Structure 1
Amino acid sequence: MTGSSLAEKTCTPCRGGVPPLTPAEAEGYHLQAPDWSLMDGATRIERRFRFKDFLEAFAFVSRAAALAETEAHHPDISFGWGYAVVSLRTKKIKGLHENDFIMAAKLDRIADGTGAAGQEA
């Protein structure tokens, strides 16, 4: 499966009661979303997007919010002049789920359309 095929999927409702991805499973998905960082013992993923100004960052965040509502999967987002930081994890299972990587792939596509410069070091 490629990152683009993840972007073609739709998030499935998570009702809890399913185990989060193991670190090994998270690593497998991470290969499909290499611009994202595995964080906190592979219980969440995060990416910092860069933009040329505040308006581009805001436009990305607005599109990300619309996507989150459509997918019913809501990331934590912070942003300011020229950047947005997105953190994903499935709160009901306190860890990562395939949904997080689906959202990551879709957010990458949105960023490509709004002029993101990629991940900051």
Structure 2
Amino acid sequence: MESKLCEKLCQTCRTDSAKMNAEEKAKFMQELSGWRIASLQGVEQLIKEFDFSNFEDALQFTNRVAEIAQQEGHHPALVTEWGKVTVHWWTHKIKGLHLNDFICAAKTDKLARETD
């Protein structure tokens, strides 16, 4: 079942936009599979590793995630290695999690399902 988050578009986020509260994060985490919330250098991020059989497939996935990022105007940290891509979504302007991060994580999951 596809997440309803995939149907949404990222919203413009400003430096005074509110970070998601615990209840909101818990609600949207239910729509994601395999993602975790971690605090890196004091900033909460959504993180997930995607496995591939070789570097070329990992690189193609990275490029397709980059296309999503450009379309949404919301950009992750992407670490591409042999057989693995680690994706970090967070909102730079608010130094934390926003609805946009959950939307992009859901779209990343959809992309991964399409490339299987």
TM-score, normalized by length of structure 1? 0.87
Verify the 8 A CA contact 2:54 2:83 in the aligned structure 1. Answer: yes
CA 1:38–1:3 in 2, change beyond 3 Å: closer, same or farther? farther
Does 1:66 find its partner at 2:67?
yes
Q: Deviations over 1:11-61 (max 9, x none)?
A: 111122122011232121111113100111882110000011111101100
Measure the CA separation in 2 of the matches of 1:18 and 1:12: 11
Structure number with higher strand proportion: 2
Change in CA separation of 1:96 and 1:31 when aligned onto 2, cut-off 3 Å: same
- How many residue pairs match? The answer is 114
Tell me which stretches of 4 or more aligned residues in structure 1 moved more than 2 Å.
none
**Matched residue of 1:96: which SS?**
coil
36-45 or 6-15, which deviates more: 36-45
Counterpart of 1:107 in structure 2 is 108
Task: Give the fraction of aligned pairs with identical amino acids, expressed as a percent.
Answer: 37
Residue 16 of structure 2: aligned partner: 17
**1:16-35 superposed matches below 5 A:** 16-35=15-34
Distance in 2, Cα, partners of 1:3 & 1:89: 21
Aligned residue in 2 for 1:44: 45
* Gap runs ≥5 in structure 2: none
Normalised TM-score (structure 2): 0.91
- RMSD, aligned CA: 1.7
Residue 96 (structure 2) aligns with: 95
State whether residues 3 and 33 of structure 1, in contact with CA within 8 Å, keep that contact through their aligned partners in structure 2. no
Q: Which residue in 2 is equivalent to 1:80?
A: 81
Further displaced range: 30-39 or 60-69: 30-39
CA distance in 2, matches of 1:103, 1:47: 12
